[in-house]
Amino acid sequence: MANIRSAIKRIRSSARKRERNQVFRSRARTYVNKARKLIAEGKIEEAREEVQLAIVALDKAAAKGIIHRNKAARSKSRLMKRLNRAASVANQSAQ
């Protein structure tokens, strides 16, 4: 446990920030995981909506500095790549 007053205050403020950041980080992960699951199941239209929610959540987290902007961009790119690949496979099998 810290003895210096400024260190004690820093511990309290860090705990508050950690809790706040956890909300945005968790929300982004949840949307990404839901989108991946829907893509794997082949539910393309539902997956498109979930991907849009994931993109918004990733952008918000990146804007607040919770995740790095390059990580957000990489995650969005990989998610869109999966979605487009699944959509093209679904279109080819439908024809």
Digit-coded pLDDT (tens) for 2-48: 899 999 999 999 999 999 999 999 999 999 999 999 999 989 999 99
C-alpha 34/C-alpha 17 separation (Å) is 26
Count up the domains in the chain and report the number. 1
Confidence at residue 1, expressed as pLDDT on a 0 to 100 scale: 80
DSSP 66: S
pLDDT band at 55 (very low <50, low <70, confident <90, very high): very high
Q: What is the CATH number of the domain that holds 86?
A: 1.20.58.110
C-alpha 26/C-alpha 75 separation (Å) is 14
Give the tokens for residue 30.
Answer: 């949840």
C-alpha 12/C-alpha 8 separation (Å) is 7
20 is in which domain, residue-wise? 5-94
Helix boundaries (H) for 42-68: 44-63
